[in-house]
Structure 1
């Protein structure tokens, strides 16, 4: 797509020009062999002034279409494009590996199964199989979780350093309100999540919801997603039903991990 940075001729002006400039910036990533680009590189690639590129990147970052790396100041594509780009979602290895196993988990538990990935600041749902029950908990693909109380967020944070967790919380990108264990130090809790390999949201995001999550790892042992099961709390009031849901989540996460060549969980 040709950039639109000047006036005159038949070039679009105003909002139309801004839209095309933003799309040109996004396209720069698809034409590059590098996943992260700086303002100067993008400016050279699309023929826009650096000030224009910087302005476009600010808006695209706020919309979730790009992410800024705090250390390098460079940018990468964000998961906000999932809502616009079906092919991107279809080509996501972790999503492809998880889909049939999510279907099996929902058939077994009769509750909603999902897989989320981390976009740098939030957990983002990239696939979901809804519960067959009329009353259920489900989220559309592309939904972002930004509360510490969310089981998926805690699973991802359990892999981060204390400094990284503190930065996300103090910046407000991860919101702590709603977490019932306010007297339980966050890092102690994340240590437990890391040790147990499971996180539970028992009515902490919304009173009616029960959710549990377990990590998915690739061949490097890197966490690349998490499996989530969600249900109305009224259906999982008893320990047995909670244990059954937790067991299904652990097993599904382990099976997806194996599909990706990750380490087998022997526990």
Structure 2
């Protein structure tokens, strides 16, 4: 896995930004043509589609509530800690990409100031699953940014050579990203375009993280055994936080993240002791 990921990540170039930037420009153009640059009109032009998806997806409340947790960086990255044992280079890119996505998210939310669905829609017109969000920070969806940041790195790092397998892999990863991101509409936390724009920004963040790692080897220490105690401490802290989340919301997705953390800590500890 490590050799494949190293080779694939080295092939990522700046022209990978072309498609996501083009998509953002197209969305921006459509909003301009629809005179939807104000918060009110932005919400209005997509309300029917957002409500439709919310009512359909909310028919699976438990599933949606589990899926939406994967937009939490702690949960999705904890779920992937086991990868650090087999491909540290993927994790180096994940760390850089996650930092970039966090830096991009808050300024955009502050700039656009779009109200959440619960702040503007009638309460009986849609379904809310879990926490009710009523702030003016709907655009973009932070969970969607996180999901597509992580999936973009995995998509590019683990890309198969075979054309057929490559098509299947791309379809699987993008389909998974869309499903997980749409869970934010399903739980009533975001408008549809919040999720679409957030997903594209996440794609840009993922590519950026890979490109940064090609030139700056700031995280190259994570595969060196002498620094394994740092990883053990970090993953132990994450384990405690996940356990707290389990006590608050007893969701299956948390157990998968917890299991991955425990296995990773155990293997790293064994290898370090052997040294």
The normalised TM-score by structure 2 is 0.25
Q: Radius of gyration: which is bigger?
A: 1
More strand by share: 1
Greater relative contact order structure (CA < 8 Å, 6+ sep): 2
The normalised TM-score by structure 1 is 0.26
More helix by share: 2
